[in-house]
Amino acid sequence: MSREGLLIVVSGPSGTGKGTVLDMLRKANENVRYSVSATTRQPREGEIDGQNYFFKTVDEFKSMIEKNELVEWVQYCNNYYGTPKKYIDDSKASGIDIILEIEVEGAINIKKMYPDSVLIFILPPSFEELQRRIEGRGTEKPEVIAQRMEKARREFLEVDKYDYVVINNNVGLAVEDINSIIRSEKLRYSRNTDIRTQLGV
Amino acid sequence: MSREGLLIVVSGPSGTGKGTVLDMLRKANENVRYSVSATTRQPREGEIDGQNYFFKTVDEFKSMIEKNELVEWVQYCNNYYGTPKKYIDDSKASGIDIILEIEVEGAINIKKMYPDSVLIFILPPSFEELQRRIEGRGTEKPEVIAQRMEKARREFLEVDKYDYVVINNNVGLAVEDINSIIRSEKLRYSRNTDIRTQLGV
Q: Which residues of A touch B125 (CB under 8 A)?
A: 199
Q: Give the pLDDT of residue A138.
A: 75
CATH 3.40.50.300 fits B1-31+97-201, yes or no: yes
Evaluate whether B167 touches B173 at the Cβ level (below 8 Å).
no
Contacts by A63-67 with C-beta closer than 8 Å and gap 24+? Answer: A64/A38
| A174-191 pLDDT, tens digit each | 999 999 999 999 999 999
pTM of the predicted protein model:
0.92
ipTM: 0.91
Evaluate whether B113 touches B71 at the Cβ level (below 8 Å).
yes
Evaluate whether A27 touches A21 at the Cβ level (below 8 Å).
no
Q: Comparing B114-123, B151-160, B164-173, which segment has the lowest mean pLDDT? A: B151-160
| A9-22 pLDDT, tens digit each | 999 988 899 999 99
Please state the domain extents for chain B: 1-31+97-201, 36-94
Q: Give the pLDDT of residue B138.
A: 75
d(CA A58, CA A62): 6
Question: Mutating which of B158, B189, B191, B193 best tests the A interface, going by the most A Cβ atoms within 10 A?
Answer: B189
d(CA A179, CA A29): 8
Based on C-alpha coordinates, what's the Rg of chain B?
Answer: 18
Task: Name the CATH architecture for the domain at B36-94.
Answer: 2-Layer Sandwich (3.30)
DSSP H helices, A46-170, are: 58-66, 85-93, 104-113, 127-136, 142-156
Over 90: is that where the pLDDT of A198 sits?
A: no
- Which helix (H) or strand (E) segment holds residue B195: the answer is helix B195-199
| A128-137 pLDDT, tens digit each | 888 888 888 7
CA atoms within 13 A on the CB side of A60: 12
Partner residue facing A162 (CB), from B177, B184, B189: B189
d(CA B18, CA A121): 34
- Which helix (H) or strand (E) segment holds residue B64: the answer is helix B58-66
Instruction: For A61, list phi and psi in degrees, rounded to 5.
Output: -65, -45
Q: Which residues of A touch B196 (CB under 8 A)?
A: 156-157, 159
